[in-house]
Structure 1
Amino acid sequence: MLFSIGSCKKGYEARFGPFYILDDTTVVINGDMGSRVDNQLERLLNKYPEISYAIMEKCPGSRDDEELFKAARMIYNQGVHIHLPPNAKIESGAVDFFLAGTTRTMDGGAKMGVHAWSDGNASATEYPVGHEEHEIYIDYYSSVGYSQHEAENLYFFIINAAGPNNIHYMTAEEILTFGILNP
């Protein structure tokens, strides 16, 4: 009888939180991006510096947007192409992470769900336009290639698409309008 030691799914070389190493250049992302996602990704990139392609599968979101944005900027600076296969379903902060792909593609059938964030006390839409609470998000979108105008349009679309306890799956027209894909 053979036993496998470790917490890696069959067929993967290694695992760093939601990041599964398929080979020296490819990572599969599956699962929630927790509060240590930036540390997990940094360890991954130190061990696998040739990563250039990411496949996002089932990613329900993030627990800490600031840590997520740090990780996403690493992906952007690495020049990683991110792809969504037909069965992919990414939501909330995972959509923000997807936007860090220097090239972003998706197959038909993949879903992207967005909604307003909540800090536990108030929802994003309860803060007026121009409030400092919005800036971290707008600054993030600008840091991954959106112009200031595009970043603001995308951000305010996202927070008005659905409340924090709901989700809106983007239509093909919305994906095109907001420049989500850039093949």
Structure 2
Amino acid sequence: MKKKISLIILSIMIVIVGVFAFIPQSRMMAYSVFINSKEITEFRVDGEMLFMNGEINSKTPKQLKKVVSENPQITTIVMLEVPGSNDDEANFPMCSWIREQGLNTHLTKESLVASGGSDFFLAGNERTMEQGAKIGVHSWSDTSGTEAKDLPKDHPDHEMNRKYIEDMLGKDDFYWYTIYAAPANDIYFMTEEEILKYNMVTQPIENP
């Protein structure tokens, strides 16, 4: 009986491995990101650097403002793995506050940001990254499942996201790019050429 159960478990594992073998690398990475994401945001101060890790949520703005107020020497937020935001209504005002404070954002060669995390990166007054860092983008969808790309360009539901991008980058072309890059349930990781094209960084990409 135990042998039979073991064979069943082994068969299931083989099927799972087989499925993953046929998933494109970009989608495999997206799956890994969202499975491993934490529904909390962690901050760690090291001199002028504030290291950030985890998903952005409604409590993150209060956390961030508290740690910055207690550590006025902070100049740069180093984003490690920030796979997204579950509260854009909290994320966008916080990002605007970061820009007002003149704080910078930075991605290490091992950093991975996506969705609302990519929006957060744009808040930096100076935005720098090392080769190897990953920036993921996709469309958004509403509670009915309607995706941004399916709405006409003048639809009011675009405005919050579009206006944020325009405020951070001076124009909104990056917003329109993101909603066609991947559907809401997937992630597309930008190439270095695309990152430079849309002025995601303010300095040349660093070779660590």
- Tell me the TM-score normalized by structure 1: 0.84
Give the whole-Å Cα distance in 1 for the aligned partners of 2:44 and 2:99: 18
Deviation at 1:50, TM superposition (A): 3.0
Residue 176 in 1 paired to residue 196 in 2?
yes
Whole-angstrom distance in 2 between the partners of 1:132 and 1:37: 27
2:44 match: secondary structure = strand
Q: What is the DSSP-based 3-state SS (H/G/I as helix, E as strand, rest coil) of the residue aligned with 2:89? A: helix
**1:129 Cα offset (Å):** 0.4
**Distance apart, 1:24 and its partner CA:** 4.8
Q: Does 1:99 align with 2:119?
A: no
Equivalent residues of 1:55, 1:84 under 8 A apart: yes
Equivalent residues, number? 163
Q: Which residue of 2 aligns with 1:128?
A: 152
Which residue of structure 1 aligns with residue 43 of structure 2? 20
Q: Which residue of 2 aligns with 1:14?
A: none
TM-score of the pair, normalised by structure 2: 0.74
Q: Which of 43, 47, 70 pairs up with 1:47?
A: 70
Residue type matched to 2:60 in 1?
V
Q: Which residue of 2 aligns with 1:139?
A: 163
Residues 1-40 of structure 1: CA distance to partner in whole angstroms, max 9, x if unpaired?
Answer: xxxxxxxxxxxxxxxx524232353211111001222222
Q: Does 1:83 align with 2:103?
A: no
Q: Return the alpha-carbon distance in structure 2 between the equivalents of residues 22 and 40 of structure 1.
A: 13
User: Which is greater in Rg?
Assistant: 2
Superposed displacement of residue 46, structure 1 = 2.4
Query: Identity of aligned pairs, percent?
Result: 36
Aligned-partner residue type, residue 130 of structure 1: D
The letter of the residue matching 1:142 is E
Q: Which runs of 5+ in 2 are unaligned?
A: 1-39, 204-208
State how 1:128-167 maps to structure 2 within 5 Å: 128-144=152-168, 146-147=169-170, 150-151=171-172, 153-167=173-187
Query: SS in structure 2 opposite 1:88?
Result: strand
Q: CA separation in 2, counterparts of 1:22 and 1:41?
A: 11
State how far apart, in whole Å, the 2-side matches of 1:49 and 1:134 are.
Answer: 36
Unaligned runs of 5+ in 1: 1-16
Name the SS for the 2:109 alignment partner. Answer: coil
Deviates more, 1:20-29 or 1:156-165: 20-29
Mapping of residues 102-113 of structure 1, within 5 Å: 102-113=125-136
Whether the 8 Å CA contact 1:82–1:101 is kept in 2: the answer is yes
Deviation track 1:18-72 (CA, whole Å, cap 9, x = no partner) reads: 2423235321111100122222222222222332111111111000112001111
CA distance in 1, matches of 2:181, 2:202: 22
Q: Distance in 2 between matches of 1:43 and 1:97?
A: 17
Q: Is the 8 A contact 1:19 1:41 kept in 2?
A: no
Deviations 1:78-109 (A, max 9, x none): 11121110111111000000000011111111
More helix by share: 2
SS at match of 1:61: coil
